[in-house]
């Protein structure tokens, strides 16, 4: 099962909790890579911790700004040597995506730039409230075309759209959040799926938060291993 890409969402600003999550999700059965989002990165000790972190990690900042500001943001991260994945938001447009990919490549060729599409907390009703006229599926496909055209490495979308995206873009790196173990609550997510079902939809990797880090982390990690063996 080590070939399956699993990312654990380290969604806390508490440094002790972060260290606990990282330590207790380590297993010889799976390769689980930590994903750090805004909550930890913006915290007092978050940035300092990542400067010295000795393992590969994903920095989930969902960068979304005018191209020059986005480039400056990427440039400010070049000291984070073990950062292997970084997210940008497709709402920033094609030129921003192209610029970020080019800049990132000049800093570290091994970093994958992943374009975030429709957040998994949103649904068709939410999109209408924002002002979109397209459905979730239509918008994700449109955003996927921008990501592909920009040269970015992959896409972040829900597992429900992954099969549709994979059908059109055979080699795109597809990562899906909104993943829950069977029986776990969806919480604030609208478009969720189990790990095994997500991999059946031919995703490249999955992001797991609450199902792994809430409660007994070691037990939750074993539940994931058992689930994927079925």
Q: Which positions are catalytic?
A: 62
Measured distance CA(98)–CA(101) in Å, rounded: 5
Q: Where are the beta strands (DSSP E) in the chain?
A: 5-9, 31-36, 57-63, 83-89, 112-116, 154-156, 173-176, 205-208
Q: Are 169 and 182 in contact (CB under 8 A)?
A: no
Please list, in sequence order, all residues whose beta carbon lies within 8 angstroms of the beta carbon of residue 94, skipping any fewer than 6 positions away. Answer: 146, 149, 150
Cα separation, 12 vs 161, in Å, equals 28
The DSSP symbol for 137 reads H
- The answer to whether residues 166 and 152 touch, using CB atoms and an 8 Å cutoff, is no
User: What is the rounded CA–CA span in Å between residue 148 and residue 143?
Assistant: 9
Question: Do strands 31-36 and 57-63 pair parallel, antiparallel, or not at all (unpaired)?
Answer: parallel
Closest-CA residue to 186 (of 120, 139, 137): 120
* Residue with the two structure tokens 């930590």: 34
Q: In angstroms, rounded to a whole number, what is the distance separating the alpha carbons of residues 62 and 185? A: 25
């Amino acid at each position: 099962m080590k070939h399956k890409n699993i990312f654990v969402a380290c969604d806390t600003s508490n440094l002790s909790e972060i260290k606990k999550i990282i330590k207790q999700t380590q297993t010889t059965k799976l390769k689980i890579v930590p994903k750090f989002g805004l909550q930890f990165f913006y915290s007092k000790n978050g940035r300092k911790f990542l400067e010295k972190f000795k393992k590969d990690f994903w920095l989930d900042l969902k960068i979304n700004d005018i191209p020059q500001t986005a480039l400056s943001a990427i440039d400010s991260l070049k000291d984070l040597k073990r950062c292997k994945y970084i997210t940008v938001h497709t709402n920033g447009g094609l030129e921003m995506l192209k610029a970020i990919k080019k800049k990132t490549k000049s800093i570290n060729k091994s970093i994958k730039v992943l374009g975030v599409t429709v957040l998994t907390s949103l649904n068709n009703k939410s999109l209408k409230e924002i002002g979109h006229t397209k459905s979730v599926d239509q918008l994700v496909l449109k955003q996927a075309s921008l990501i592909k055209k920009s040269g970015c490495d992959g896409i972040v979308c829900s597992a429900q759209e992954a099969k549709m995206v994979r059908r059109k873009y055979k080699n795109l790196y597809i990562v899906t959040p909104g993943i829950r173990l069977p029986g776990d609550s969806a919480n604030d997510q609208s478009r969720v799926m189990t790990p095994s079902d997500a991999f059946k939809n031919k995703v490249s990797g999955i992001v797991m938060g609450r199902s792994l880090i809430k409660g007994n982390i070691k037990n939750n990690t074993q539940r994931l291993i058992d689930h994927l063996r079925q």
